[in-house]
Chain A
Amino acid sequence: MLLNVAAVITLVVTQQTDTTVPVRPGMRLDVDNFGGEIVVRAWNQNAVRVQATHSSRDRIDVGVGSSTVSVKAESRRGLAQMVEYQISAPTWMEMNLHGVSTDIEVDGAQAGVTAETVNGEVKVRGGSGQLSLKSVQGAVTLQNAKGHIDVYTVNEEVTLENVSGDVTAETVSGDISLGGIESASVEVSTVSGDVHYDGTIKDGGHYRFATHNGDVSVSVPERANVTVSVATFNGDFDSCFPVSVTNTSKHRFSFTIGSGSARAELETFNGDIKLCRPGQLHDKRHNDQEDH
């Protein structure tokens, strides 16, 4: 009964806004939302369409400036609370999306994306250029993107798939999984979680994978030229292929594969480190999960 009453009240106070504005190449989309969600889908029109579901007490403000389209909610009584945005924007349009208790999703962009929320997931498919995705309590996922990539969360996992460019990925409590990566610069760290990397090791590149409590698994392609430094305090090292350790100290050792021109640092304080060939790690993780 109470649920029915709540549903009726919700229907009464909910309002839809649907606004479309023309834009020119070079303009940027700024969206600010306290709670709810921001979903942006790229399309091939030089226009931004904003569809919003919100309280009738709130008003959606779509402002068009010389270089930006800004979208935000204004309330007649204090802060606007929950707004569900469905936005269509040109593929070329850079976007700057901010929320607090907000899930953010972007699909099909071909330009830079900044997406930051406090309590919510960030999921981006596509993107090019500067890609900065951040959350505190929420998983962050990036797929099919290229550029300078900076991904951060505090309490959930980070997943990157089919991504090229410089990559920095950090979390505090959560796994970091990178697959299909093409990069000469990768910096990954978590405090409590596993790190998994499957991607290129480019000549002259630099790769760092670090965790405190967790395992590190990295795939090394057959013809890679890399000097690998391995450090673990309480853990083991295992490799799917033979390596010749050249330099050892108490908690660290290194070895060279091929010419050794790239550098890879693999570190875990409490955990194991494993090297395999591309594809083998996925098979092993799959088998491990089935065993559990």
Chain B
Amino acid sequence: MKDQWTDRLSGYLDGDLGVAERGALEAHLAGCPACEATLDELRRVVARAQALEDQPPATDLWPAIAEQIGVSSGAHRVVSLAAHRARRRVSLTVAQLAAAAAVLLLLGSGGAYLALHRSTQDNRPLARRQTGMEPATATIGWVQKTSASYDSAVAELQGALEQGRNSGRLDSATVRVLTQSLVTIDSAIVQARRALAADPGSAYLNQHLADTMRRKLELLRRANTLVPART
């Protein structure tokens, strides 16, 4: 659903609307459950985005970036993380909202996974490790942009599951069930991707694909917690 007010919801949350426009929107919200629901979703996405911790880079990336774009490395102004965090605002359109919500779902899963596997060596390229917010800012074509990190997480978890299988720590019946379930989820992901390719603007399909991908990560994560069960 999209009406004349939908694109102003983000501005409303940011306090960018004038008094008259704000009043008119609030009157509209009182009678439009769909806009109300969209506003609620927008609030949740913004709250989660704002709650993400800014991670200072291990090394200063700016000199190399400045050199590549032809700017003096001394020209940039250093902004403290605290100040940046204090003024960070997240403005999204409805299409971006769907995408961002989906990305945040993936980030949530990844966060849970990483929390459980802190000892796992991080083999990702340095730049990707240093830009932990990268997926959250990718609101256009998020599936493509998050695919690499998603595939990497899935591959890592599947590798651990394979080790459990080869070492005999997971019995064959359990491995068979887990494998069948992964096939079931993969099939759902393929269907959702196809549908989304045909209708990339669909908030439902974006959300559904993200949910299904999250389910796969979650299943793999749970499966890996089972691996040491017989040790």
Contacts and interface: CB of A to CB of B under 8 A. Distances in A.
A252 B205 CA distance: 10
B39 to A, nearest CB: 12
Interface stretch (A68-76, A195-203, A225-233, A278-286): A225-233
Given A79-B230, A213-B188, A269-B188, A252 B174 contact: no
B202 A270 contact: no
A116 to B, nearest CB: 10
A154 B181 contact: yes
A287 B230 CA distance: 45
A10 to B, nearest CB: 22
Contacts, number: 101
Tell me if A's interface is mostly helix, strand, loop or mixed: strand
A251 B229 CA distance: 43
Contact of A254 (B33, B174, B184, B191): B33
Contacts of B222: 136, 152, 154
Interface in A170-228: 172-173, 189, 191-192, 210, 212-213, 227
B230 A34 contact: yes
B219 A250 contact: no
B192 interface: yes
Tell me if B's interface is mostly helix, strand, loop or mixed: helix
A248 B203 CA distance: 12
Contacts of B195: 233, 269
Contacts of B177: 136-137, 154-155
A100 B178 contact: no
Interface of B: 1-2, 33-34, 37, 171, 173-174, 177-178, 180-181, 184-185, 188, 191-192, 195, 199, 202-205, 208, 211-212, 215, 219, 222-223, 226, 229-230
4 smallest CB-CB distances across A and B, nearest first, come from A247-B1, A212-B188, A227-B33, A247-B34
